């Protein structure tokens, strides 16, 4: 039996699509969720282990690591997906916003990578850490300043941890631009956003799934960032 894959924030959207993909491949799975969406019932019914955690809570990491160790002594991969796409316009308390962005996108992955390394090392094959970052980590974002900086920090972790954990653990980033819109996105926003990339489409979760499968199936790629952005950097 392969060691489980851990996905953070796996109860909706991209994280949920990833979870369903690995379940369909009969791979053991541990998923963290904050809000108990109906999807959690479905994931549990499919055999996934679902652990509730709000990373804003004190001691969340230590409690999560303890629960993971109760479930398994090894991990095949850790996919850092949990994220909060927050912005300065909606958060006038910029001090709190910056701390919140850095916590969920950089501190949580850092602390989990440090704590879960022994389980990743115990995998009977080369294991993986995947950080899901964002195109704006490279370019910056005037409307999501703290968010973009925190994703840049997350991207940098890929290089440090790749050097720290090689050769038993590979560490990479997947850096998407638009993958899927949000329900509240209006047509004007969608039109403007689609025009930002060369491909001009809303590609869907399969693009991230395929990118992560590429990384998990490689025996050689580590310390790198896989851009999944429709050529946005060339517009
Ligand atoms: N969607 C897109 O087009 C793009 C996505 N990305 C990145 O891809 C990843 C997935 O994106 P998407 O599916 O849209 O993500 P979502 O915005 O849907 O968030 C994913 C999950 O993160 C969870 N989460 C947020 N804060 C916390 C917290 N404090 N503790 C625990 N869980 C938390 C949310 O839980 P809850 O359900 O309780 O809110 C949610 O289920 C993210 O890292 C995102 O930044 C990058 C570029 C484009
Ligand atoms: N946690 C999230 N991060 C991001 C989201 C999202 O919905 N949740 N969405 C985007 C946008 O799609 C952007 O890439 C294009 O406008 C970015 N990050």
Of 9, 58, 112, which is best to mutate to test ligand 1, by the most ligand atoms within 8 angstroms of its C-beta? Answer: 9
Of 7, 34, 85, which is best to mutate to test ligand 2, by the most ligand atoms within 8 angstroms of its C-beta? Answer: 85
For residue 162, give Cα distances in angstroms to 128, 218, 235: 10, 14, 31
Determine which residue's CA is closest to atom 11 belonging to ligand 2.
178
Domain CATH code at residue 29: 3.40.50.720
Long-range contacts of 189-197 (CB under 8 A, 24+ apart): 195/235, 196/232, 196/235, 197/229, 197/230, 197/231, 197/232, 197/235
pTM above 0.95, yes or no: yes
pLDDT value of position 1: 78
Q: Which atom of ligand 1 is nearest to the CA of 55?
A: 30
Ligand whose nearest atom lies closest to the CA of 101: 1
What residues flank ligand 2, with Cβ below 6 Å?
83-85, 134, 177-178, 182, 193
Q: Which atom of ligand 2 is nearest to the CA of 180?
A: 12
Nearest to 124 by CA among 171, 156, 76, 166: 76
ipTM of the complex: 0.99
pLDDT value of position 36: 98
Determine which residue's CA is closest to atom 15 belonging to ligand 2.
178
189 is catalytic: no
Nearest to 178 by CA among 109, 227, 224: 227
The active-site residue out of 147, 165, 189, 220 is 147
Ligand whose nearest atom lies closest to the CA of 228: 1
Low pLDDT (below 70) residues in the chain = none
Task: Determine the structural domain holding residue 25 and report its residue range.
Answer: 5-234
CB-ligand 1 contact for 35 (6 Å cutoff): yes
Number of structural domains in the chain: 1
Residues 107-116 have pLDDT tens digits of 999 999 999 9
Q: Which atom of ligand 1 is nearest to the CA of 14?
A: 13
Nearest to 87 by CA among 72, 102, 98: 98
CB-ligand 1 contact for 203 (6 Å cutoff): no
Of 32, 50, 83, 177, which is best to mutate to test ligand 1, by the most ligand atoms within 8 angstroms of its C-beta? Answer: 83
């Amino acid at each position: 039996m392969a060691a489980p894959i851990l996905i953070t924030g796996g109860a909706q959207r991209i994280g949920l699509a990833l979870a369903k993909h690995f379940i369909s491949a009969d791979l053991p799975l541990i998923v963290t969720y904050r809000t108990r969406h109906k999807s959690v019932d479905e994931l549990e019914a499919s055999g996934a282990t679902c652990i509730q955690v709000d990373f804003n809570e004190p001691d969340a990491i230590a409690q999560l690591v303890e629960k993971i160790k109760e479930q398994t002594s090894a991990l095949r991969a850790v996919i850092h997906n949990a994220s909060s796409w927050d912005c300065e316009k909606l958060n006038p308390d910029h001090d709190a916003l910056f701390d919140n962005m850095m916590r969920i996108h950089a501190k949580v992955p850092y602390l989990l990578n440090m704590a879960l390394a022994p389980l990743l090392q115990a995998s009977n094959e080369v294991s993986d850490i995947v950080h899901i970052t964002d195109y704006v980590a490279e370019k910056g974002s005037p409307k999501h300043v703290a968010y973009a900086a925190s994703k840049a920090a997350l991207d940098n972790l890929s290089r440090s941890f790749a050097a720290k954990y090689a050769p038993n653990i590979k560490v990479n980033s997947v850096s998407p631009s638009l993958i899927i819109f949000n329900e509240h996105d209006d047509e004007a926003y969608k039109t403007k956003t689609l025009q930002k990339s060369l491909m001009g489409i809303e590609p869907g979760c399969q693009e991230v799934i395929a990118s992560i499968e590429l990384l998990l199936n490689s025996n050689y790629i580590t310390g790198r960032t896989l851009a999944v952005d429709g050529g946005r950097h060339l517009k």
